[in-house]
Amino acid sequence: MSKAHVYKRDHINTDEIIPARYLNTDDVAELASHCMEDLDTDFMDKCSAGDIVVAGDDFGCGSSREHAVWAIQGAKIGAVIAQTFARIFYRNCINCGFYVIELPNAPELINDGDEIDIDYATGTINNKTQDKQITFQPLPDFALEIINDGGLLKHIKKQNA
Amino acid sequence: MAMTITEKILARASGNDSVKPGQLINANIDIVMCHDVTTPPAISMLIENGIDRVFDTEKIVVTPDHFQPAKDIKSAELHKRLDTWAKEKGIKHYYPIGKAGVCHALLPEQGHIRPGEVIVGGDSHTCTYGAFGAFSTGIGSTDLAAAIATGQIWFKVPASIKFILNGKLREGVYSKDIILEAIRLVGTDGALYRAMEFTGPVIADLSMEARMTITNMAIEAGGKNGIIAFDEITKAYLDGRLKDKSDYTVFESDPDAEYFQTIEIDCSALEPTVALPNLPSNGKPIGDCAGLEMDQCYIGSCTNGRIEDMRIAAEILKDKQVAIRTIVVPATPEIWKQCIDEGITEIFYDAGCVVSAPTCGACLGGFMGILAAGERCISTTNRNFVGRMGHPKSEVYLASAATAAASAIQGKLTDPRSFL
């Protein structure tokens, strides 16, 4: 069971997810310690392993820095659900083996603190707090395979093995 | 089948006669751009996964730029990893410090960008190179690692938005003002997944430097790539500059190509524009925001750190004094040298500016001009997100080199036309 952390904001950008002042490292634990720092200074205190971030449109806009994905992964976030994602961030997430869900009206359908379960293969979110099922378009099979293999490079390695 | 310039380039790169928007293709890459922040992790991934190879040592261009010269021990370690790898692999076009510059100014200047080619880079502003009639887009470290090893990358062919730039720019209005207006019109995700194709009579009057400012900021509207068709101005820039091979294929959009959307901008009506915090789409005519007090002026970056920007700023700053701290960053060593040769550096010095070595530096809040809480910076850069250039409570105002220079003199947002 995962707890939802809802940000009713559009355009949450890569500078907010991981400010560039921390890009002098690619150490995941260190990046995670600054995850979302410029958006919500309490973020890391609030989140437990497997929790879900929910936001509005254009999540991850800005830089191509994969550090943004690594910071969120390092913070042990299970997935990000947003109305829409910026293109490079979305691609980076799949490449890193991290689940992203596009869901229209996400910040209205899920409240801050809701307990949810996600079935990625069928495209179902079980919102236990509100006792309702939400469906979403699951990622195509090739993207799910990449995620399940732990990211693009591990996927390539597995295919070449 | 009628195609846009973007579709034609991607068709060729993927060995197809034609492609259409939404189609998944595997494209051959002509140039891979590597810098100090996103490439070292890509190198580590390749080593960890036992696929530590490069597809072509002549098609990978490497320069440290974000934190160069190294700003601290950690960035020095990044540079060391990049340097060791580039030397070990025998990367032909490696630009270490002394040759290094802001990547998106350096690669075209050093002749690595050819029309009709596919370029990817581990940086979102890789879309800059579309100014040369090339397909060019930014990717993350994992895609970069795969690109370095295989020379290929998959894309979904983007639908195109055509921006027709009509009219004629008035004095004091520049290509930065055009792109800020385009982003204002569509929003920061208005071109998400789209190619942004810029055409129209205004383009013919713009230098390559000015065109690069436009395609550079395609990503600020969410665009996959920005693109401008080849013409005589492109040819004049490329002649004598291209490295490795001087031939290239010129593509142009068919007259009956299909567009997702067409947007016309009357450039004759444009004013000097400032994008207020905290989104690049928040553009306002200078008349609506003039007088707002600033603490710093920053003239540089891959958006507006080229020689033309230096000349525009110098023209305004000549025989004047800046009222706020003003940091000028010529984007490459060649531009830096040109500034000296043309007497521009002296103008900056006399005006009270500091001129730094080429670096991305403070544009992304790295170093060399970081803002304190509550400070405001008028900047020729590309993003004004929260905390972009320093403290989360600092503010960034995006504008042309002319508006930035005029504002530096007055210490507040100022219409550059009062100095022209």
Q: Are residues B278 and B260 in the same domain?
A: no
- The reported pLDDT for the residue numbered A159 is 83
Contacts (Cβ under 8 Å, ≥6 apart) of B3: B11, B18, B19, B253, B254, B257
Partner-chain residue, chosen from B75, B122, B365, that has the shortest CB–CB distance to A64: B122
Boundary-marking domain end, from B222, B245, B265: B265
Q: Are residues B328 and B250 in the same domain?
A: no
Start-to-end CA distance of chain B, whole Å, equals 49
d(CA B12, CA B227): 16
Boundary-marking domain end, from B215, B231, B265: B265
What are the φ/ψ torsions at residue B339 (nearest 5 degrees)?
-60, -40
Q: Are residues B351 and B236 in the same domain?
A: no
Boundary-marking domain end, from B230, B265, B300: B265
- Name residue, tokens 């013919």: B204
Instruction: Report, as an integer, the average pLDDT of A34-58.
Output: 96
Domains in chain A, please, with CATH? 2-160 (3.20.19.10)
- The reported pLDDT for the residue numbered B111 is 98
d(CA A25, CA B90): 25
Report chain A residues whose CB lies below 8 A from the CB of B67. Answer: 23-24
Q: Are A30 and B79 in contact (CB under 8 A)?
A: no
Q: Provide the domain limits for residue B97.
A: 5-265
List, in sequence order, the alpha helices (H) in B60-112: 73-89, 103-109
Q: Strand B118-121 to strand B93-94: parallel, antiparallel, or no bridges (unpaired)? A: unpaired
Q: Is there a contact between B387 and A15 if contact means CB atoms under 8 Å apart? A: yes
Residue A44: alpha-carbon gap to chain centroid: 14
Res A1 pLDDT > 90: no
CB atoms within 10 A of CB B232: 8
Quote the number of domains for chain B.
2
Which value does ipTM take for this structure?
Answer: 0.95
Written as tens digits, the pLDDT of chain B (420 aa) is: 899 999 999 999 999 999 999 999 999 999 999 999 999 999 999 999 988 899 999 999 999 999 999 999 999 999 999 999 999 999 999 999 999 999 999 999 999 999 999 999 999 999 999 999 999 999 999 999 999 999 999 999 999 999 999 999 999 999 999 999 999 999 999 999 999 999 999 999 999 999 999 999 999 999 999 999 999 999 999 999 999 989 999 999 999 999 999 999 999 999 999 999 999 999 999 999 999 999 999 999 999 999 999 999 999 999 999 999 999 999 999 999 999 999 999 999 999 999 999 999 999 999 999 999 999 999 999 999 999 999 999 999 999 999 999 999 999 999 999 999
Q: Are residues B216 and B355 in the same domain?
A: no
Contacts (Cβ under 8 Å, ≥6 apart) of B50: A157
Q: Strand B31-34 to strand B118-121: parallel, antiparallel, or no bridges (unpaired)? A: parallel
Q: What is the 3-state secondary structure (H, E, C) of B320-381?
A: CCCCCEEEECCCCHHHHHHHHHCCHHHHHHHHCCEECCCCCHHHHCCCCCCECCCCEEEECC
What are the φ/ψ torsions at residue B238 (nearest 5 degrees)?
-80, -30
Q: Are residues B248 and B316 in the same domain?
A: no
Report chain A residues whose CB lies below 8 A from the CB of B45. Answer: 153
Q: Are residues B104 and B212 in the same domain?
A: yes
List, in sequence order, the alpha helices (H) in B90-174: 103-109, 141-150
CATH number of the domain enclosing B18: 3.30.499.10
Res A158 pLDDT > 90: no
Q: Are residues B365 and B254 in the same domain?
A: no
Res A62 pLDDT > 80: yes
Maximum CA extent, chain B? 60
Q: Are residues B229 and B278 in the same domain?
A: no
With CA atoms as reference, the chain B residue closest to A16 would be B386
Partner-chain residue, chosen from B75, B189, B387, that has the shortest CB–CB distance to A86: B189
Q: Is there a contact between A61 and B188 if contact means CB atoms under 8 Å apart? A: yes
* Residue B37 tokens, joined: 């922040």
With CA atoms as reference, the chain B residue closest to A152 would be B142
Q: Are residues B108 and B192 in the same domain?
A: yes
* Residue B206 tokens, joined: 């713009």
For residue A161, what pLDDT band results from cuts at 50, 70 and 90? confident
Report chain B residues whose CB lies below 8 A from the CB of A38. Answer: 386-387, 392
